[in-house]
A and B are shown apart, each in its own frame.
Chain A
């Protein structure tokens, strides 16, 4: 499979001090949907804007479709579709006028009406952009990226702030683009979005890729596929923690306030001894839940923090 996007040792330092990106390596194949997952301020937007040719890296190499920004800027722009984080399009233009405006910049755009239909904006085609809902605006932003008939679609936080239905609509659109052979690079801080949409992921934190792989690979690397979360009465000391950690099948233990979580391979092997141990410690079990491990657990395991700090 040919490589669509590759970057080597990408670094970006703002004003000579703030290091937003600190040595990122990525290789994204054609036809892949690749996600940059990380909390706000992790350097996702800086990375994607360097790849889009909107920011110059402080150091490092970028090749898109086997071409460099310095030598083929126009050719590259013809082949890329971009949706930035929070662009406010002109409110006094209609949906159709906006799409036609963006279409006019490309040598061979797709017909505006076709894109309007694909993005389910037909009913709103004659409405002013100022009158659209959040979901409709975001679809319009993607429409302006798709109208140039791109090979690669860059989406920076495409579903931030959208309601669940609008998010699913956008996911369908992205999958449709990928099905027609397109390559997608998106950033997100929603783990469910990354899990459902992306073939491969890079987890980004403090300007570096701290883990990379398919969503299931990343979860696999946790060591367990399940998480047991429980709370008990009384104060818990180091000895108590040590007992739980040594229970059969436990891969990792985490404390989160009053709630403890164990990453385990098979819950049915761990739960009975856990109940026994709690009883031996003369404690009461206040809460016990079990669930599938998610990318959130991967992130917390890697950084000790949650993706979205409340």
Chain B
């Protein structure tokens, strides 16, 4: 088996020699990265499909539904029937059950009933309720209101109630911007951090630096691929929210994408820092989870961080994901301009910038 000998023919050389331009390395690296991502079905699932499924599942589970029917136990005695009759008249939808004293208390303890009503012999009533249970407090108010009205109370203030369930105030409206932020964090950390350590472990980084490849081109190509993916990620999830859950987007598409870009680059920088030394994908996986865990909990993805003690709110607001989620919510749900949110953008920029600079100092190519 002979090796093809390529003799140098001077005429051919002129045609064959093609000089690469300054950006050919960058564009081939970007192309390679996008091809790899597109050919990896897991990536397509976790980056694009999974957030949609999450939004769908949570959106349906926590959709706005009529308030739960109040269930009340009335302790059986001489006046019980009269109480039941008054409640039926005033609140036909209320579930009322007449039970013995023990059975009523037992049912209340198990959460089967929201309130126990004990009619007194003199026409008075006693309410047994749990002040820590919202539905119990509500039941006490409803039952008392019904009984007072049935007993002849006159309302002196004329009033009118109008029901309102507008888009913008529902759980899904809260959720979608949070998922956008969390998704950008996930894919920034995994798409940059994990990918880099994987390449280091496979000695591909070392192989690349053995060529004249510019290291800055490599990092730029990685960042560019993140930005391209970001547009698709944000676009898909937002379109899904609008079409499926009728989420109203008040901010401009441009400011949402700009915010997405700042978020993607910032988390890319944090991902780069996380990956700067690790030699094995197992160790970087652990690191990535350690970095992301506090933000999953505190940064208000699935529920508002207002539920944490107010004393730690300033700390929570310094986390990059909190800044990104708050900014997404303000932009999408309230149409706030980016200029008005400079402090959130500053938090993101400082996190991303400082991480990037540290990563460049510590990064191990071989």
The smallest C-beta distance from A176 to any residue of chain B, in angstroms, reads 4
Query: Cβ of B212 and Cβ of A106 under 8 Å apart?
Result: yes
Contacts of A74 in B (CB 8 A): 212
A84-B206 contact in complex given A77-B211, A90-B36, C-beta closer than 8 Å = yes
Chain A 137-194 residues near chain B, CB threshold 8 A? 144, 148, 168-169, 172-173, 175-176, 179-180
Indicate whether A176 sits within 8 Å of B28 (C-beta atoms), given known contacts A92-B40, A107-B212. no
Say which residue of A88, A105, A117, A176 sits within 8 Å of B25 (CB atoms). A105
Q: Is the CB of B18 within 8 A of A111?
A: yes
Which residue of chain A lies nearest to B40 when distances are taken between CB atoms in the complex? A92
Interface residue count on the B side (C-beta < 8 Å): 34
> A236 in the interface, Cβ–Cβ < 8 Å?
no
Contacts of B16 in A (CB 8 A): 110-111, 114
CB-CB under 8 A from A107, the residues of chain B are 19-20, 212
CB contact between A106 and one of B20, B202, B204 (< 8 Å): that residue: B20
Given contacts A101-B28, A118-B4, A172-B3, contact A108 B17 (CB under 8 A): yes
Whether B210 and A54, one on each chain, are in contact in the complex, defined by CB atoms closer than 8 angstroms, is yes
A52 to B6, CA, bound (A): 26
**Number of interchain pairs (Cβ within 8 Å):** 102
Q: How large is the interface on A (under 10, 10 to 19, 20 to 34, 35 or more residues)?
A: 35 or more
Q: Which B residues are in CB contact (< 8 Å) with A52?
A: 210
B203 shortest CB reach to chain A, Å: 5
Residue B35 at the chain A interface, CB threshold 8 Å: yes
Judge whether B211 and A93 touch: CB under 8 Å.
no
Chain B CB within 8 A of A82 CB = yes
Contact of B28 among A54, A100, A118 (CB under 8 A): A100
Q: List 15 A-B contacts (CB under 8 A).
A: A82-B211, A84-B203, A86-B203, A87-B202, A87-B207, A88-B202, A88-B203, A97-B31, A104-B25, A106-B20, A106-B212, A107-B19, A107-B212, A168-B1, A172-B3
| Apart from A105-B20, A105-B213, A180-B6, 15 more pairs, CB < 8 Å | A54-B209, A55-B366, A82-B207, A87-B203, A87-B206, A89-B202, A100-B28, A102-B211, A104-B24, A104-B29, A106-B20, A107-B20, A108-B19, A111-B18, A114-B6
Residues of A at the B interface (CB closer than 8 Å) are: 52-55, 74, 77-78, 80, 82, 84, 86-90, 92-93, 97, 100-111, 114, 117-118, 128, 144, 148, 168-169, 172-173, 175-176, 179-180
